[in-house]
Chain A
Amino acid sequence: MTKRKSLFIDCSEAAFNCDKAQYNEASFYEKIKIHLHILLCKPCKNYTKKNTKLTKLIAKSNLKTCSEDEKKVWKEEIKNQSTK
Protein backbone atom coordinates (compact mmCIF):
# COMPACT_ATOMS: atom_id res chain seq x y z
CA MET A 1 0.00 0.00 0.00
CA THR A 2 1.27 3.44 -0.82
CA LYS A 3 2.06 5.76 2.02
CA ARG A 4 -0.05 8.62 0.90
CA LYS A 5 -0.93 11.02 3.66
CA SER A 6 -4.40 12.31 3.63
CA LEU A 7 -6.75 14.00 5.99
CA PHE A 8 -6.93 12.90 9.63
CA ILE A 9 -5.23 9.51 9.58
CA ASP A 10 -2.55 7.97 7.44
CA CYS A 11 -2.86 4.82 5.39
CA SER A 12 -1.26 2.44 7.83
CA GLU A 13 -3.64 3.51 10.55
CA ALA A 14 -6.56 3.20 8.17
CA ALA A 15 -5.50 -0.32 7.26
CA PHE A 16 -5.14 -1.19 10.91
CA ASN A 17 -8.59 0.13 11.70
CA CYS A 18 -10.01 -1.61 8.69
CA ASP A 19 -8.62 -4.95 9.85
CA LYS A 20 -10.09 -4.34 13.26
CA ALA A 21 -13.45 -3.51 11.73
CA GLN A 22 -13.46 -6.91 10.03
CA TYR A 23 -13.62 -8.50 13.44
CA ASN A 24 -16.11 -5.99 14.80
CA GLU A 25 -13.52 -4.58 17.11
CA ALA A 26 -13.34 -1.08 15.78
CA SER A 27 -14.99 1.65 17.78
CA PHE A 28 -17.53 3.99 16.27
CA TYR A 29 -14.99 6.77 16.09
CA GLU A 30 -12.53 4.51 14.33
CA LYS A 31 -15.14 3.54 11.78
CA ILE A 32 -15.81 7.19 11.03
CA LYS A 33 -12.11 7.75 10.56
CA ILE A 34 -11.92 4.90 8.06
CA HIS A 35 -14.80 6.22 6.05
CA LEU A 36 -13.32 9.70 6.00
CA HIS A 37 -10.01 8.27 4.94
CA ILE A 38 -11.28 6.10 2.12
CA LEU A 39 -13.25 8.96 0.72
CA LEU A 40 -9.94 10.60 -0.04
CA CYS A 41 -7.62 7.69 -0.60
CA LYS A 42 -8.18 5.31 -3.46
CA PRO A 43 -5.68 2.57 -2.53
CA CYS A 44 -7.21 2.27 0.89
CA LYS A 45 -10.65 2.16 -0.60
CA ASN A 46 -9.57 -0.83 -2.67
CA TYR A 47 -8.03 -2.45 0.32
CA THR A 48 -11.19 -2.00 2.38
CA LYS A 49 -13.25 -3.46 -0.42
CA LYS A 50 -11.03 -6.50 -0.74
CA ASN A 51 -10.83 -6.97 2.96
CA THR A 52 -14.58 -6.89 3.38
CA LYS A 53 -14.97 -9.34 0.56
CA LEU A 54 -12.48 -11.69 2.18
CA THR A 55 -14.44 -11.58 5.41
CA LYS A 56 -17.63 -12.36 3.55
CA LEU A 57 -16.05 -15.23 1.69
CA ILE A 58 -14.70 -16.77 4.85
CA ALA A 59 -18.07 -16.46 6.52
CA LYS A 60 -19.75 -18.00 3.49
CA SER A 61 -17.35 -20.92 3.26
CA ASN A 62 -18.31 -21.98 6.77
CA LEU A 63 -14.87 -23.34 7.48
CA LYS A 64 -14.43 -25.56 10.45
CA THR A 65 -11.34 -26.53 12.30
CA CYS A 66 -10.71 -29.68 14.19
CA SER A 67 -9.97 -29.35 17.83
CA GLU A 68 -6.59 -30.05 19.37
CA ASP A 69 -8.04 -33.08 21.11
CA GLU A 70 -9.09 -34.60 17.84
CA LYS A 71 -5.68 -33.97 16.40
CA LYS A 72 -4.07 -35.61 19.40
CA VAL A 73 -6.14 -38.74 18.89
CA TRP A 74 -5.05 -38.96 15.28
CA LYS A 75 -1.43 -38.41 16.14
CA GLU A 76 -1.56 -41.19 18.71
CA GLU A 77 -3.16 -43.52 16.21
CA ILE A 78 -0.55 -42.81 13.59
CA LYS A 79 2.21 -43.26 16.13
CA ASN A 80 0.86 -46.57 17.36
CA GLN A 81 0.35 -47.88 13.90
CA SER A 82 3.76 -46.92 12.58
CA THR A 83 5.65 -48.46 15.50
CA LYS A 84 3.85 -51.75 15.10
Chain B
Amino acid sequence: MATNQIDPTKWVDKYSDYLFNFTIVRVNDRELAHDLISETFLAGLKSMKNFKGEATERTWLISILKRKIIDYYRKINSKKGRAEVKINYSDDSNEGDWLEEQAPDRFDKTAEDIMENEELGLAILDCMEQLTKKQAEIFRMKTIEGLDTEAICNEFNITPSNLWVIIHRARTTLAQCLEKNWF
Protein backbone atom coordinates (compact mmCIF):
# COMPACT_ATOMS: atom_id res chain seq x y z
CA MET B 1 0.00 0.00 0.00
CA ALA B 2 1.48 3.25 -1.10
CA THR B 3 1.66 5.76 1.68
CA ASN B 4 3.12 8.53 -0.41
CA GLN B 5 1.39 9.59 -3.58
CA ILE B 6 3.26 10.76 -6.61
CA ASP B 7 2.24 13.78 -8.62
CA PRO B 8 4.64 14.98 -11.34
CA THR B 9 2.73 18.16 -12.04
CA LYS B 10 3.75 19.56 -8.67
CA TRP B 11 7.37 18.46 -8.75
CA VAL B 12 8.78 21.66 -10.13
CA ASP B 13 7.04 23.97 -7.68
CA LYS B 14 7.67 21.79 -4.70
CA TYR B 15 11.14 20.41 -5.14
CA SER B 16 13.07 22.40 -7.72
CA ASP B 17 14.73 24.70 -5.18
CA TYR B 18 15.74 21.80 -3.01
CA LEU B 19 17.08 19.75 -5.89
CA PHE B 20 18.82 22.77 -7.30
CA ASN B 21 20.69 23.54 -4.11
CA PHE B 22 21.55 19.91 -3.73
CA THR B 23 23.04 19.85 -7.22
CA ILE B 24 24.77 23.21 -7.32
CA VAL B 25 27.06 22.41 -4.41
CA ARG B 26 28.08 19.19 -6.15
CA VAL B 27 28.67 20.35 -9.68
CA ASN B 28 29.15 24.08 -9.24
CA ASP B 29 27.73 25.02 -12.61
CA ARG B 30 24.28 26.48 -13.10
CA GLU B 31 23.64 25.18 -16.56
CA LEU B 32 24.86 21.74 -15.77
CA ALA B 33 22.75 21.63 -12.63
CA HIS B 34 19.76 22.62 -14.69
CA ASP B 35 20.35 19.82 -17.18
CA LEU B 36 20.89 17.25 -14.46
CA ILE B 37 17.65 18.21 -12.79
CA SER B 38 15.66 17.96 -16.00
CA GLU B 39 17.18 14.54 -16.59
CA THR B 40 16.13 13.64 -13.09
CA PHE B 41 12.56 14.74 -13.64
CA LEU B 42 12.36 12.81 -16.89
CA ALA B 43 13.87 9.70 -15.39
CA GLY B 44 11.45 10.06 -12.53
CA LEU B 45 8.53 10.21 -14.92
CA LYS B 46 9.70 7.11 -16.72
CA SER B 47 10.08 5.04 -13.61
CA MET B 48 7.04 6.39 -11.83
CA LYS B 49 5.51 2.96 -11.55
CA ASN B 50 8.54 1.79 -9.61
CA PHE B 51 7.81 4.30 -6.90
CA LYS B 52 6.56 2.24 -4.03
CA GLY B 53 5.54 5.07 -1.79
CA GLU B 54 7.84 3.96 0.99
CA ALA B 55 9.92 7.08 0.81
CA THR B 56 8.70 10.59 0.22
CA GLU B 57 8.68 11.89 -3.31
CA ARG B 58 11.57 14.16 -2.54
CA THR B 59 13.81 11.43 -1.17
CA TRP B 60 13.03 9.40 -4.22
CA LEU B 61 13.88 12.23 -6.59
CA ILE B 62 17.08 12.94 -4.70
CA SER B 63 18.15 9.33 -5.07
CA ILE B 64 17.67 9.57 -8.83
CA LEU B 65 19.52 12.86 -8.90
CA LYS B 66 22.45 11.34 -7.03
CA ARG B 67 22.81 8.69 -9.71
CA LYS B 68 22.71 11.35 -12.38
CA ILE B 69 25.47 13.32 -10.70
CA ILE B 70 27.61 10.22 -10.32
CA ASP B 71 27.03 9.37 -13.96
CA TYR B 72 28.11 12.82 -14.95
CA TYR B 73 31.40 12.55 -13.10
CA ARG B 74 32.00 9.10 -14.56
CA LYS B 75 31.49 10.46 -18.01
CA ILE B 76 33.93 13.33 -17.69
CA ASN B 77 36.42 11.03 -16.05
CA SER B 78 36.36 8.59 -18.90
CA LYS B 79 37.45 11.30 -21.28
CA LYS B 80 41.04 10.85 -20.40
CA GLY B 81 43.07 13.84 -19.43
CA ARG B 82 40.08 16.12 -19.32
CA ALA B 83 39.37 15.64 -15.69
CA GLU B 84 42.98 16.01 -14.70
CA VAL B 85 43.78 19.06 -12.72
CA LYS B 86 46.59 20.74 -14.52
CA ILE B 87 48.87 22.79 -12.41
CA ASN B 88 50.56 25.13 -14.72
CA TYR B 89 52.64 27.86 -13.31
CA SER B 90 52.42 30.22 -16.23
CA ASP B 91 48.72 30.20 -16.82
CA ASP B 92 47.40 33.19 -18.67
CA SER B 93 44.28 33.39 -16.59
CA ASN B 94 46.37 33.55 -13.45
CA GLU B 95 47.51 37.06 -12.89
CA GLY B 96 50.26 37.79 -10.47
CA ASP B 97 53.67 36.26 -10.63
CA TRP B 98 54.32 35.90 -6.96
CA LEU B 99 54.36 32.49 -5.46
CA GLU B 100 52.36 33.74 -2.51
CA GLU B 101 49.52 34.70 -4.76
CA GLN B 102 49.28 31.22 -6.12
CA ALA B 103 49.42 29.43 -2.82
CA PRO B 104 46.10 28.25 -1.46
CA ASP B 105 44.49 30.50 1.05
CA ARG B 106 44.94 28.97 4.44
CA PHE B 107 42.01 30.85 5.80
CA ASP B 108 39.77 29.56 3.11
CA LYS B 109 36.91 27.28 3.89
CA THR B 110 37.76 23.69 4.63
CA ALA B 111 35.84 20.88 3.01
CA GLU B 112 34.02 20.34 6.25
CA ASP B 113 32.76 23.89 6.36
CA ILE B 114 31.45 23.65 2.86
CA MET B 115 29.66 20.42 3.60
CA GLU B 116 28.15 21.87 6.71
CA ASN B 117 26.93 24.90 4.81
CA GLU B 118 25.34 22.70 2.23
CA GLU B 119 23.47 20.71 4.84
CA LEU B 120 22.45 23.95 6.45
CA GLY B 121 20.97 25.20 3.20
CA LEU B 122 18.93 22.06 2.82
CA ALA B 123 17.84 22.25 6.45
CA ILE B 124 16.58 25.78 5.87
CA LEU B 125 14.65 24.65 2.82
CA ASP B 126 13.24 21.79 4.87
CA CYS B 127 12.02 24.22 7.46
CA MET B 128 10.54 26.48 4.83
CA GLU B 129 8.09 23.71 4.05
CA GLN B 130 6.42 24.44 7.36
CA LEU B 131 5.48 27.90 6.16
CA THR B 132 2.33 28.59 4.26
CA LYS B 133 2.73 29.00 0.55
CA LYS B 134 2.42 32.76 0.63
CA GLN B 135 4.80 33.14 3.54
CA ALA B 136 7.38 30.91 1.89
CA GLU B 137 7.09 32.74 -1.40
CA ILE B 138 7.46 36.18 0.13
CA PHE B 139 10.22 35.10 2.44
CA ARG B 140 12.10 33.56 -0.46
CA MET B 141 11.82 36.68 -2.57
CA LYS B 142 12.79 38.99 0.24
CA THR B 143 15.56 37.03 1.87
CA ILE B 144 17.13 34.81 -0.73
CA GLU B 145 16.58 36.80 -3.86
CA GLY B 146 16.94 40.06 -1.99
CA LEU B 147 14.16 41.92 -3.78
CA ASP B 148 12.93 45.34 -2.70
CA THR B 149 10.04 45.60 -0.31
CA GLU B 150 8.23 47.74 -2.82
CA ALA B 151 8.62 45.28 -5.68
CA ILE B 152 7.21 42.44 -3.61
CA CYS B 153 4.36 44.58 -2.37
CA ASN B 154 3.41 45.43 -5.92
CA GLU B 155 3.53 41.87 -7.03
CA PHE B 156 1.34 40.52 -4.25
CA ASN B 157 -0.72 43.65 -3.96
CA ILE B 158 -0.15 44.11 -0.24
CA THR B 159 0.93 46.98 1.95
CA PRO B 160 4.44 47.14 3.44
CA SER B 161 3.10 46.50 6.92
CA ASN B 162 1.36 43.38 5.62
CA LEU B 163 4.66 42.28 4.20
CA TRP B 164 6.52 42.82 7.45
CA VAL B 165 3.95 40.85 9.37
CA ILE B 166 4.31 37.96 6.95
CA ILE B 167 8.10 38.17 7.13
CA HIS B 168 7.93 38.28 10.90
CA ARG B 169 5.79 35.15 11.09
CA ALA B 170 7.99 33.36 8.62
CA ARG B 171 11.10 34.27 10.55
CA THR B 172 9.70 33.15 13.88
CA THR B 173 8.63 29.81 12.45
CA LEU B 174 11.95 29.29 10.76
CA ALA B 175 13.96 30.24 13.81
CA GLN B 176 12.02 27.79 15.93
CA CYS B 177 12.34 25.03 13.38
CA LEU B 178 16.06 25.54 12.90
CA GLU B 179 16.59 25.68 16.60
CA LYS B 180 15.05 22.24 16.88
CA ASN B 181 16.72 20.67 13.88
CA TRP B 182 20.02 22.40 13.51
CA PHE B 183 21.54 23.40 16.81
Instruction: List residues of chain B with CB within 8 A of the CB of A16.
Output: 164, 168
Size band of the interface chain B makes with A? 35 or more
In the complex, chain B residues 10-28 whose Cβ is within 8 Å of any chain A Cβ: 11-13, 16-17, 20-21, 24
> Is B164's CB under 8 angstroms from A61's CB?
no
| 41-84 of chain A: CB within 8 A of chain B | 50-51, 53-54, 57-58, 60-66, 70-71, 73-75, 77-78, 81-82
Q: Which residue of A lies closest to B179 (CB)?
A: A50
Residue of A nearest to B116 (CB): A60
Query: A20 contacts B164, CB within 8 Å?
Result: yes
Q: Which residue of A lies closest to B142 (CB)?
A: A23
A-chain residues with CB within 8 Å of residue B140 when the two chains form the complex:
65
Closest-by-CB residue of B relative to A71 is: B12
Chain A residues near B168 (CB, 8 Å)? 15-16, 19
Interface 1/0 per residue, A2-45 and B, CB below 8 Å: 00000000000001100110110100000000000000000000
| Cα(A1)–Cα(B107), bound, Å | 40
Q: Which listed segment binds A: B38-46, B51-59, B78-86?
A: B38-46
Say whether chain A's binding surface is mostly helix, strand, loop, or mixed: helix
Complex CA–CA separation, A51 to B164 (angstroms): 14
Q: Are B144 and A77 within 8 A (Cβ)? A: no
1/0 per residue, CB under 8 A from A, across B88-106: the answer is 0000000000000000000
Chain B positions within 8 Å of A70 at CB level? 16, 34
CB atoms of B8 and A64 under 8 A apart: no
Contact in complex: A74, B164 (CB < 8 Å): no
Please determine whether B8 and A78 come into contact, CB atoms closer than 8 angstroms.
yes
Task: Report A-chain residues with C-beta under 8 Å of the C-beta of B179.
Answer: 50
Enumerate chain B interface residues (CB-CB to A < 8 A): 8-9, 11-13, 16-17, 20-21, 24, 34, 37-38, 41-42, 45-46, 117-118, 120-121, 124-125, 140, 142-145, 149, 164, 167-168, 171, 174-175, 178-179, 182
